[in-house]
Copies of this chain bind each other. A is one copy, B any other.
């Protein structure tokens, strides 16, 4: 393997062709591991990088179907065994010389979008469109994997110029901000002095980099499930325990959670499904919601209120309940040392003509969970946006991005490594 634009495009298109949804990236992980093994990395998988107590939004049926598809598509048994049902991997490069530790993170999952059949869509024209029906790399994570592999390849070829260690995290289930918490909680990057992650495209065009996006929203995704008891709605309604009515009251209470004096909040019950039939007291209900906060503390306030209401409703309606955290991201403030470093690198780069430090991200990203973990251990973290022209918005069926920017991404990461560990 050689670090060429051709190699990057080949990787990107290979992964684009078989997109896998969060916690089902079995083939994807397997294929990344193949390449990393060829490059000579130590590869951590399964329990080595995943703390199962912090796994969010992983549905058994999705995992099982994904695993079957991955096996059919050629995922290697030896990797699957090590994964033990949990996707993602971490490549470790130890220079053997004392020095700092740098963690890099690339997310690998796709979104549940059916790729367009339009003939002018480049993946169709050049024959690398999704073979996994209903799934598509419509958020550019195929590009992220590629930049991660490109960076890994450079590292494997330049190990002797470095001191310290590099850990390259290929993270599952970023969509729905579900995967980072389990990796953070595994402790696998707790020794990192530096952390960097990035997103391709977003609102930045080819040739620009946003070095210091602000206003990451803290968010938590929660499901509440109520279990009551059915009864005949005509003959014996008093014998029922009404999960639908409980859920409806829960929704009215949840939307009434007080504003917070110290920052913006959000609450949305996005989905509610309840009941079995018109003439039966409903015994089951499910609520899917999310809260957000201007910062971690304000978001936590919202989570606390949700949990209290979920419980109070169960008491009022004599139903059983469970809550499940399906995803979470926090806010993060880039460390100025790293912002300065990225700006220097970027402005020195012939193909990047501007760096913007003041963009309001106004969205959630679970790389922040990893970044803050490193910061809490005393390290420094940065998240930047790598500009790339797009053919459509992220998550749209017509999404595609400018592949020429992949090498810029690799260059920034390798320059960062040289500056920090060189």
A residues whose Cβ falls under 8 Å from a Cβ of B: 176, 217, 219, 221, 232-240, 242, 244-245, 247-249, 251-253, 255-256, 258-262, 264-282, 285, 288-290, 292, 301, 308-309, 311-318, 326, 362-364
Contacts and interface: CB of A to CB of B under 8 A. Distances in A.
Contacts of A318: 308
B244 A251 contact: yes
A272 B260 contact: no
Q: Which 4 A-B pairs have the closest CB atoms?
A: A312-B316, A312-B315, A255-B256, A233-B268
Contact of A278 (B221, B274, B276): B221
A286 B359 CA distance: 40
A311 B318 CA distance: 11
B265 A259 contact: yes
A270 B276 contact: yes
Contact of A244 (B267, B269, B326): B269
A40 to B, nearest CB: 41
17 contacts: A233-B268, A233-B270, A234-B364, A235-B363, A237-B258, A237-B260, A238-B260, A238-B301, A247-B272, A248-B248, A249-B249, A252-B253, A271-B282, A273-B274, A308-B317, A309-B316, A312-B313
B261 A239 contact: yes
Nearest to A363: B234
Query: DSSP majority for the A interface?
Result: mixed
Nearest to A254: B256
Contact of A259 (B253, B259, B313, B317): B259
Contacts of A256: 245, 249, 252, 255-256
Nearest to A292: B234
A238 B252 CA distance: 17
Contacts of A326: 278
Given A248-B252, A270-B279, 11 more contacts: A244-B271, A252-B253, A258-B281, A271-B275, A272-B272, A272-B273, A273-B274, A275-B288, A308-B315, A311-B316, A315-B315
A253 B264 CA distance: 20
Contacts of A238: 258-262, 301
Contact of A271 (B278, B289, B316, B364): B278
Contact of A314 (B240, B271, B274, B312): B312
B237 A268 contact: yes
Contacts of A363: 234-235
Contacts of A273: 272-274
Contacts of A271: 244, 274-278, 282
Contact of A252 (B249, B260, B264, B277): B249
A412 to B, nearest CB: 28
A175 to B, nearest CB: 11
A358 to B, nearest CB: 18
B258 A242 contact: yes
Contacts of A266: 233-234, 237, 259
A246 to B, nearest CB: 9
A42 to B, nearest CB: 37
Nearest to A256: B255
A240 B258 contact: yes
